[in-house]
Every structure is written in structure tokens, then in C-alpha cells.
Structure 1
Amino acid sequence: MAYVIGVDLGTSAVKVLLVDQHGEVRGEWTESYPLYQPHSGYSEQRPDDWVEKTIIALRRVWETAGVSPESIVGLSFSGQMHGLVLLDGDGNVVRNAILWNDTRTTEECRDIEEKVGRDRLLSIAKNEALEGFTLPKLLWVKRHEPELYERARVFLLPKDYVRFRLTGHMAMDVSDAAGTLLFDIETKTWSEAIAQAVGVDLSLCPPLVEATACVGTLRPEVAEQTGLPASVKVFAGGADNACGAIGAGILAEGRMLSSIGTSGVVLAYEQSGEKDFAGKVHYFNHAEPSAYYIMGVTLAAGYSFDWWKRTFAEDVPFAEIVQRAAASPVGANGLLFTPYLVGERTPYADADIRGSFIGVDSRQTKWDFARAVMEGITFSLNESVEIIKASGKTIDSVVSIGGGAKSAEWLQIQADIFGLPVEKLKNEQGPGLGAAMIAACGVGWFESLKQCADVFKQVEAVVEPRPDAAAKYKELFAIYRQVYPHTKELAKRLKAFRP
């Protein structure tokens, strides 16, 4: 039996999957690394931590699975998007990576809008200037750390740096490049127009490849450290959301993904790169060549649930919280929650907004609050669903992955709020499986990613929306959508009192 490996470089840990030719996960290993937050709104990591932990995980995954390393023929990557890694002329890291959830770059976003022009930016990059993207981070370093910016000769995104260290080959795939704000989505090239407008030299941009491209093999010293043969083929891989879409089979029209991790994502397949969503949702190149995807993001999805748990029910297991919350009725006895704990991305693009509980009543219990948090996260995702539907796209079903797929109760809430059937996968492994599927196609097991998904993706259950609950949620959603416009100015005034 032959195997491939999918490496998922996340925000808190790297997860490595060992997958056989039938799509069965035969081994997995996770290694965590620290997050550095030296100031409010800052979020950084040390790139070499990613490399060290990935090398450990690559060795441990085949050792603990008990397979011969010689049977592993390919590997690929999924990675956290947008993070800025600056390298000097010798390939050394210039400073810690600035991550996707870092919000220090509001001023740089306004500069981009002024110098490029919002309409021009949307016509080229298909996305608005938001704090999470890579270009604002690059401009922040240029403004605040000019000596470091002068040392930089190229920038990479997180997984691309790890792949560079493993193979010696420097490149960036188009699905990840689409999240930099320096990329022309339609032509799949670096944008000279944007770069010139903001004063960035395009020589800082690495060569571009498709996510499915073979970029080489392991360096001899890496092969020795991991125990893998140096002949293992390494494929570029893609952005975590693109790889999550592959793993969930979002490779045709009518399919949508709902992913609740630290952040939350709603993602729909799109064949054309010519549509205009006016920046209301993200519009990126897919990891499948010649395809695209539309995406809405809730910055604090699972993070909101984790915050509530550690603050109010630290010792209560996740499963028990969800069960107790499910005993609360639809609408949590008149309580609404907006999950804006760290600002919001879709559809408001507001770094200053913060969360709210609306309708607090003395008769409510903490389990009502737990249900309100679950519903509020899902309402936020539904804002993106409604934008996608309004574009004229038909959505037939939703595949749920991440924390929202771990309980029957949350799956039902999603089905009722979205008003769509929700699929739970038998062996949901998220972006890591998508990375493994890229490798599986690359080594010739399948002719296409879709053919691979037909084998690898297995549906365990389909949850149908309940008409009565769906009708109630429709009313509640209309109320939910009024909370942001009534609290945004209050949140800005409270900013001065936050740590």
C-alpha cells in the first residue's frame, strides 16, 4: 500500500495526516507552537517554529502508524492565509511573521484605498483592503520598521516558507497569493498597478505556481530528519480554506462549505472569475486550477465558543455544554449574541466592533447564553450565505466541518438557520485532507481533484432543516442584523477603555 501526507499549518498547531489510496486516514500527528501578542491587536509567530514542529510531526506520523517510510510517495500543504514572512537575500527570516488575525494595519488599509482607489482595487484583487491581508502588513513594516523592510528580498506566506525550508524551492501558489491583495485574480499574476500605486517593488513577490504543481523533493538533510525518502514528491498545496473546500468536495456548482474553527467560513464554488461582489465577500482563486471560490468570514466563530467556555464553564466538557444548550428553545429564551470579539470581517469589515449580548433577562440561565453563542456564530455565517444567494447562485446543500460538525445539535442549528440540508462527513479532516488529496492527484492516483473527492469524501449523515424552527430563525435573523448598526458607534467609543 502506498501513502501520501497532508500537512496543515494552522494558527495554533501543525497537523499531519497519513492517507492511503482509499482515502482512509492511517495516521495523524499534531505539534503546537506559541503565539506572540506583544501589544493589543498584534498576533505573531516565529516561522522557524513551524519548520521545527513540521519536521517532528512528519517523522512521528509514520512511526506511530507503523508503516514503512518508503511507502510514502507524496506530500502537500495547507496553510493559514495572509501571514507575512519576510526573508533576506540568504533566505533568512527578517522578523517574526505577522499573522492573518493581526489588526494593527488599519491606517495602511486606508492608504491602499486612497492610493489604489477602491473600485480599481476591487476590479483587480476582487477584495477590499482589510487588516487581515498581506499587503497592509508589508506596508506596516515599510513604515514602522524601515531597516527591516530594506533587508527584505522576498515575502512568503506561512506554508510556502515551510515548503521552502523542506525543499529549497521558493514559490507561492495562486490560491494563497489571492489573499495578499497584490494579486490579479483573473490573470493570475502579480499586479503591477497595485504595486506601483502603493510603492512596493514586485521583486519582493515570489514565483507563482498552481496548487497542484510539483515543486521538487525533500532536501537530503530534511529526509534524514524526517525519516522519509528524499524521493518523496512535494506539491505546492493551497490556502487552508481552498484545501478545506477540496477535502469537503466543494468542487462543483451548488456546493457550499460551512467551517467553524477559530474563525468561521462560508465558502461556495465559483467557475468564473469575472463576477462582481463589490467587496461584500471574499473572492479567491481555488486550489483546483481554473476555478474560484466565494467566501465570507466570521473572525471569532469557534473562538467565541471557546471564550464563553473558559469564562463561564471552564470545567464542563464541550459535549455537555452543547447538550444543555440544546435544551434551551430556539432563540435562547429571547437572547441574541453577536460574535464580534476581535472585530468582524464579513459583511462589516470593522476592526473596532465588539460583541454583544442583547435581551439579557433575569430568568435566563447560562445554558441560554451557551445556545445564544452557538446561534450567534451561525447567524454571522448566515450573513455570508445570504450575500452568496443574492448573487444569483443556487445552493443545494452545505457540508459542515470543524467545531460546528462535532455535535448533532449544532448541525441542526446550522440546517435550521441556513434553511438547507447539512452534510456531516464520516471522516472529516478539514484542510489537511485537501492537502493530501492534492498529493494523491499529483502522484497519479486520480486524474482530477473531483475524481479524488468522489473516493475520499464519505457522508455519514444529512441533517434536514425543520420548517417551524427555520421560520423562527428567519424572524430572529432579521433582529440580529439590526444589532451591528446600533452598536458600532458605541464600540468605537468604548475602544479607549479596552486594554
Structure 2
Amino acid sequence: MKHVIGVDLGTSAVKLLVVNETGEVVMEVSKSYPLSHPKSGWSEQDPNDWVRETIAGLSEVAAALPQATTQIEGISFSGQMHGLVLLDEQNEVLRPAILWNDTRTSPQCKAIYEKLGAERLQQLAKNPALEGFTLPKLMWVREHEPEVFTKAAKFVLPKDYVRLKLTGALHTDYSDAAGTLLLDIEGRTWSEPLCSAFGIDPLICPPLVESHACVGQLTEDIALATGLPRQTPVFAGGADNACGAVGAGILEDGKTLASIGTSGVMLSYQEEKGKTFGGGVHYFNHAAEDAFYTMGVTLAAGYSLSWFKQTFAPEETFPQLLEGVAEVPPGANGLLFTPYLAGERTPHADATIRASFIGADSSHTKADFTRAILEGITFSLRESLDLFREQGKTIERIVSIGGGVKSETWLQMQADIFQTPIVKQTSEQGPGMGAAILAAYGAGWFGSLKECAEAFIKQDAVFEPDCNRAKTYETLYELYKQVYPATAAICKALSSFRK
């Protein structure tokens, strides 16, 4: 039977899915790598860690499925967005990658607005200037590490560096390029006005291709290192959120995705050009050709839960941490949590805001705190959903993927807070499945991306909103929204005391 491999390059690990022609996941491999925080607000990784662990994952696949490897007809990628990887003339890394959740570039974002103004920036980039995007990172390196910047011949996004090392070919796709703040999103080319305004040589930008484009084959060295055939086709792939949307079947208007990984995303498909919701949410190219998506982001969604576990219950597994949460009533016995551990993106573009537990007293248990975290993450995603609805977008159903589907209690919580049916699919690996679908479509298994997604994606369960709980959550949500304005100035003042 034919197979494809979807490689999902995340913030904490690379995950590989081996998928057959019926859409069945026949093998999953995960390889972790470290994340570095040299200073408060900084977030970096060594790009060669990504390459090493991806090769290790491919080798594990080849060793475990020796017969299947001769039938692999494509590898494609999903990758964490916005990360800056600077390369020299020999395509070697010049410095650690600056990641999407790095917030050091507030002065550069301010400079972007001072240069262009908010209205002109919105016209050109269709998105606000945020610390996580790639352009401010380029500006930061030029200002603070000029000796590095002068050696830079190209920049790429994280997954593109891995693919470069597997194939020797350097490209990026439109969905990932859209998150750089340098792309003409509707013109589908690097923006000359944006590059010119900020002194960025367009030649530093990588060539652009479609997400399903075949960009090469494995090099001889990689074939030997992994045990995979030299002629294995490699496809471009897409940004993790775009691939998550493909992997969840968000390929027509009215379909919406809630994805809870390290960050959290509320994403909705659209074909109509120019509807940017006033800049309140992101507007990016989809991995599907000639399509777009709008997206709100919670920077520390699943990360809030993993931080809590690591800090206060490191000996427990996640299932153990979630034990007892179902018995805690909505509102966590009077405890609210705002998931601003790393600042926030939507609807508060604020790098200095920080997380809060509001209402804690001596009666609260670990289960109360855990439930408050789950509710706070979901309230934050609800704020993005409200931005869509306020602009007239119809949300019929929401497909949930990522860590949020591992708990039925959390799935029901999403239905009650979003006041919308929540769909759980048989595979929650949206980005990895999306990458596999792009490989299968690129390899010619199906006539369209949508046809491939319909064949691969299967529904597992639907969680309907409960009217009584939804009413309770509506009251709590109104209280939640008061926390940001009440704490923003305090957090900004406290920022001078951080390391």
C-alpha cells in the first residue's frame, strides 16, 4: 500500500505521521528538542536540533516499517510560524533561530508603526506589526548583531531549513511567508514597498512556491542516513496553522478550527479577498491554493497547562493532573485564570501583559486551579471567535484539534463557552495530517486537496453546548474580560523587574 509522511515541526518536538492511502495513521514518531530562554522574553532554538531529530524520526520510521518505506510517495511539512533562521552564502546557520513566541522586538514594532503608520501597514501587510513576526526580528538582528546581519544571504522559516537540509533546495510557501510581514498576501509576491521601507534586500527572501509543490528529492546523504529511498519526493508543506486547517478539513467557508497546542488558535476559512476584520485578527494565505484564512492567537494556551504541571505537579502525567477536574463546577469555585504567560496576541497585542489567577483563596485545590486554567485558555479563544462573529462571519461548527481534544471535559467546556457544537476527529494531529494530505495531493493521489481531505478525515464525536452551563459561562466570560484592563498597567510596571 502507498504511504506518505507528514512532518510537523513544533516548538517542543518534531512529530512524524505515516499515513496510508485510506488516510489511516499507521505510525507516529515524536522527537523532542530543547528550547532556550537566554533572557526574559527571549525564545530561541538551534535549527540543527530540528534537522537531527527529524532525521532520527525518519530513520525510526524506516527501521520499523521496512516494506512501507519502498512505497512512500512523498514527504511534506508543517512548521512553527514566524521563526527567523538566518543563513550565510553556504546556507549555514548564522545564529540560533528567534522563535514565534519571542517578545524582544517591541522597539522594532514601534519603529514599523512610526515609519508607515497603522493604516498604511494594514494596506500593505494586511496584519499588525507584532513581536512574533519575522520582519521585526530581522530589524533586531540588524540593530543588535550587525556583524551577523552583514553575513546573511537568505532567511528562511523553520520547516524550510529542515527541508533545505533534506533536499538541498531552498524555498518557502505562501502560507508561511504570509507570517513574515514582508509578503504581499493577495499579490502572492514579496512586497517591494515593505522591503524598501525597512531596508530589506528582496534577495534575502527565499523563492515562493505552493504548499503542494514538489521541491525536490532526498539527498544521497539523507537517504543513507535514514534508510529511505533517494528518489522520495519532498513537497513544500505549509505553516502549522494552515496545515492544521487542512488536516481538520477547514477548506470551505463556514468551517472553523480551534487548535490548542503550545499556542492556541481560532481559525476560519475564507475565499473572499480583502476581508481582514479591521486588522483585529490575522489574515494569511491558506495552504490551499488561492484561499485565505483569518486567525486569532492565544500565545500561551497549552503552554499554560504544561507550565502549571511542570511547576506545581512535575511528578504527575497530564491525565493525572486532569483527574477531578470534571467534578469541579464551571467557574472553578470562584477562580479565574488569564493565560498571558508570554504576553498576548489576540485581541490584546501586548508583550508586557502577564498571567493572573484572580479569586484564589485557601479553599482552592489543585483541581480548581487546573480547571481555571482550562477555562481561561478557552475564554481567550472565545475572544477571537467574537471578533469573527462581530464582523458577520457565520460559525456553524468548530473542529477542535491538539491538546484540547485529549479531555472530554475540555471538549464539552469548549462547546459550552463557544456556544457552538465541537467536532472531535479520529486523529487530533491536525498539522501533521495536513502535511500528509499535502503530500498525497502533491503526489497525485486525488484530484483536489478537498477531495483528499474528505477521504482522510473521519469524525469521531460531536459535543453539543449545554444551555445551563453556557449561561453560567457567559457571566464568567464577562468577568474574565475585565481582568486584562485591570492588570495591564500593573504588568507593564512590573516588567522592569523581570530578568
Map of 1:225 onto structure 2: 225
User: 1: distance between equivalents of 2:319 and 2:41?
Assistant: 31
Map of 2:17 onto structure 1: 17
The one-letter code matched in structure 2 to 1:403 is G
Encode CA deviations 1:329-352: one digit per residue, 9 max, x unaligned: 111112111010111010101000
- For residues 79-118 of structure 1, the aligned pairs below 5 Å read 79-118=79-118
RMSD: 1.2
Residue 112 (structure 1) shift: 0.9
Encode CA deviations 1:272-314: one digit per residue, 9 max, x unaligned: 2211322211111000000111111111111111122223333
Residue aligned with 1:93, SS: coil
Residue 430 (structure 1) shift: 2.0
Map of 1:386 onto structure 2: 386
Map of 2:133 onto structure 1: 133
User: 2: distance between equivalents of 1:360 and 1:273?
Assistant: 46
Encode CA deviations 1:362-420: one digit per residue, 9 max, x unaligned: 33322222111110010000000000111111011011111110011000000000000
Residue aligned with 2:388, SS: helix
User: 2: distance between equivalents of 1:70 and 1:86?
Assistant: 35
Q: Is the 8 A contact 1:18 1:62 kept in 2?
A: no
The one-letter code matched in structure 2 to 1:164 is L
Map of 1:121 onto structure 2: 121
Residue aligned with 1:401, SS: strand
Encode CA deviations 1:25-46: one digit per residue, 9 max, x unaligned: 1112122222222211111111
Residue aligned with 2:277, SS: coil
Map of 1:58 onto structure 2: 58
Q: Is the 8 A contact 2:325 2:367 kept in 1?
A: yes
- For residues 295-310 of structure 1, the aligned pairs below 5 Å read 295-310=295-310
Map of 1:493 onto structure 2: 493
Map of 2:36 onto structure 1: 36
Residue aligned with 1:67, SS: helix
Residue 72 (structure 1) shift: 0.8
Map of 2:316 onto structure 1: 316
The one-letter code matched in structure 2 to 1:467 is C
Moved more, 231-240 or 39-48: 39-48
Q: Is 1:338 the counterpart of 2:349 in the alignment?
A: no
The one-letter code matched in structure 2 to 1:57 is G
Q: Is 1:326 the counterpart of 2:326 in the alignment?
A: yes
User: 2: distance between equivalents of 1:276 and 1:295?
Assistant: 10
The one-letter code matched in structure 1 to 2:195 is A
Map of 2:152 onto structure 1: 152
User: 1: distance between equivalents of 2:355 and 2:278?
Assistant: 26
User: 1: distance between equivalents of 2:323 and 2:424?
Assistant: 18
User: 2: distance between equivalents of 1:390 and 1:333?
Assistant: 31
User: 1: distance between equivalents of 2:67 and 2:14?
Assistant: 21
Q: Is 1:441 the counterpart of 2:436 in the alignment?
A: no
Q: Is the 8 A contact 1:116 1:194 kept in 2?
A: no
Residue 323 (structure 1) shift: 3.5
Map of 1:357 onto structure 2: 357
Residue aligned with 2:372, SS: helix
Encode CA deviations 1:64-121: one digit per residue, 9 max, x unaligned: 2343421111111110100111111121111111111111111011111111221111
**Equivalent pairs, count:** 499
User: 1: distance between equivalents of 2:51 and 2:435?
Assistant: 17
Map of 1:253 onto structure 2: 253
The one-letter code matched in structure 1 to 2:143 is R
Map of 2:237 onto structure 1: 237
Moved more, 368-377 or 354-363: 354-363
User: 2: distance between equivalents of 1:237 and 1:285?
Assistant: 13
User: 2: distance between equivalents of 1:228 and 1:465?
Assistant: 47
- For residues 146-225 of structure 1, the aligned pairs below 5 Å read 146-225=146-225
Map of 1:377 onto structure 2: 377
Residue aligned with 2:70, SS: helix
Q: Is the 8 A contact 1:185 1:273 kept in 2?
A: no
Distance 1:34 1:361, change over 3 A: closer
User: 2: distance between equivalents of 1:458 and 1:362?
Assistant: 45
Residue 482 (structure 1) shift: 1.0
User: 1: distance between equivalents of 2:242 and 2:212?
Assistant: 12
The one-letter code matched in structure 1 to 2:170 is M
Deviating runs (4+, > 6 A) in structure 1? none
Distance 1:258 1:163, change over 3 A: same
The one-letter code matched in structure 2 to 1:231 is Q
User: 1: distance between equivalents of 2:65 and 2:227?
Assistant: 13
User: 2: distance between equivalents of 1:98 and 1:315?
Assistant: 31
Map of 1:453 onto structure 2: 453
User: 2: distance between equivalents of 1:229 and 1:368?
Assistant: 52
Q: Is the 8 A contact 2:5 2:76 kept in 1?
A: yes
Residue aligned with 1:179, SS: helix
User: 2: distance between equivalents of 1:296 and 1:45?
Assistant: 25
Q: Is the 8 A contact 2:300 2:341 kept in 1?
A: yes
The one-letter code matched in structure 1 to 2:266 is V
Residue aligned with 1:122, SS: helix
User: 2: distance between equivalents of 1:75 and 1:10?
Assistant: 16
User: 2: distance between equivalents of 1:89 and 1:365?
Assistant: 56
Map of 1:284 onto structure 2: 284
Q: Is the 8 A contact 2:210 2:236 kept in 1?
A: yes
Q: Is the 8 A contact 1:33 1:53 kept in 2?
A: yes
User: 2: distance between equivalents of 1:263 and 1:88?
Assistant: 31
Residue 17 (structure 1) shift: 1.2
Residue 140 (structure 1) shift: 0.4
Residue aligned with 2:100, SS: coil
Residue 453 (structure 1) shift: 1.2
Structure 1 unpaired stretches of 5+: none
Map of 1:73 onto structure 2: 73
The one-letter code matched in structure 1 to 2:162 is V
- For residues 395-414 of structure 1, the aligned pairs below 5 Å read 395-414=395-414
Q: Is the 8 A contact 2:3 2:68 kept in 1?
A: no
User: 1: distance between equivalents of 2:456 and 2:62?
Assistant: 20
User: 1: distance between equivalents of 2:397 and 2:221?
Assistant: 46
Q: Is the 8 A contact 1:77 1:237 kept in 2?
A: yes
